[in-house]
Structure 1
Amino acid sequence: MATHVPHPETTRRIRLDEHLPVDHRLSQVYRVGAGLMGLVLLAFGILGLIDKIGFFDTSGDTVAGLNTNGALSVLSICVGALLFAGMIIGGNFASTVNMILGVAFILSGFLNLALLETDYNFLAFHIQNVLFSFVVGVMLMFFGMYGRVSATLPHDNPYWKARHPDQADQEQRAQRRERGEVLRKGAGE
């Protein structure tokens, strides 16, 4: 039975760190998402530290409707700072940071849901913290995957072009031919 093995030079692997054009509109979405979520987490962490709560106090204290302690406040500040770094760098870095932290928030929500009402709840999570973790995780994943992961990406999208290099080249050559014909018609008239 014969199988088709593509030539190694004709296959191209998609990498998460391929660069967007500097002024691409998708970079703005990634930056805004990282910045907004980073701002929320920084504010929550700073407000938690201002209350001078014990670092691993499992009874916690309420800040902005969420339960917190010193460890959760410091962790929130660190993650918020990482998101701000993503906002400043932008591009695929911001997108990747958003996606990774989004998955981490969702996993954290499930883990802390299992640890509720146990002695291992070192971050003093309550159910509202779990729900907040899920919401932030989904929002970060949305901001990170926007325009990057879809079955219906437009053909001018850089990620679509990276996944379909042969078809993108054919379309680009066809567009050049059409422009050449239009220019010739315009010059001949």
Structure 2
Amino acid sequence: MALSLPRKRTADRTPATPTSTPAPTAPPETERARDTGDSPSGGNRVYTVQRIGAFAVAGVIAVFGILGLLNGLDFFSTDGERVLGLSSNGLLSVISLVTAVVLVAAALRGPRVASTVMIVIGVLFLVSALANLAVLNTSWNFLAFRISNVAFSVVAGLVLLMLGAYGRVSGNLPSDSPYARDTSDDVPPVSPDEYPSTPADFAAERAMREAEVAVVQHIATFDQRRRVAAMSQVTSRKERRAIWMSFDRARRDA
């Protein structure tokens, strides 16, 4: 009689695999970048465009303000003097320098701050253009505006608004936008008992789908319409399935 030696089972030689793998945690730099709106490398396209735009507008405004102060302009003169093709006085020069400093500080702070500040200052530029246009050539012209200043304020305001809204005001933000956020965190976790687990649950799920499709296509039976109407009163998947199966139990008990 041939003897057969017992063979070791393959499962004994296979290393045990962990049942679950812990979710990787984001490094502190990534978490900080997510909160501030910066990318981990600090150089995404949206932030670069906004930063360069803020620096450019701030540079023009700063040069205008510095030249006005160096020329020793009267602080509250309503006539003003020519600076870079625009009219200015001491008050407008100081306001220009303060605005330039705010833009630079916002650009260095981060994309969200830069965007918000540029939008706000852009609106203020447009409001200033309209307000000073109304008092042009009057004694209320405290900033010594002329029509060239009004045109510059409109152009600068629109540029700041477009730069501030770039990559932020959109229904489909690019993936590298610091304003794009993962909406998966907003979705509440689904309880495991929401999903079907028994053959009866799976059969009920299939019947539920068939009934809902039939209702949409206007070919549902009276029983299907009644069940779908009852399920519409609840929201969770488990409750809908329980209502459907209660109809089945009622039919069996009848």
Shared fold, TM over 0.5: yes
- 1:1-189 aligned at under 5 Å gives the runs 19-22=37-40, 23=42, 24-154=44-174, 157-161=177-181, 165-166=183-184
Q: Which runs of 5+ in 2 are unaligned?
A: 1-34, 188-254
CA RMSD of aligned residues (A): 2.2
| Percent of residue pairs bearing the same amino acid type | 44
CA distance in 2, matches of 1:86, 1:158: 15
Q: Please give the secondary structure, in 2, of the residue aligned with 1:67.
A: strand
Measured against aligned partners, the alpha-carbon deviations of 1:110-166 in whole angstroms (never above 9, x if no partner) come to: 11111112111000000100010000000111111101012343356453436xx14
Structure 1 gap ranges (5+): 1-16, 170-189
1:43 counterpart letter in structure 2: V
SS in 2 for 1:161: coil
Distance in 2 separating the partners of 1:46 and 1:154: 39
Normalised TM-score (structure 1)? 0.73
**TM-score where L is the length of structure 2:** 0.55
**Number of residue pairs matched by the alignment:** 151
Could you say which structure has the greater relative contact order, defined with CA pairs below 8 angstroms and 6 or more residues apart?
1
Q: Deviations over 1:159-181 (max 9, x none)?
A: 3436xx14998xxxxxxxxxxxx
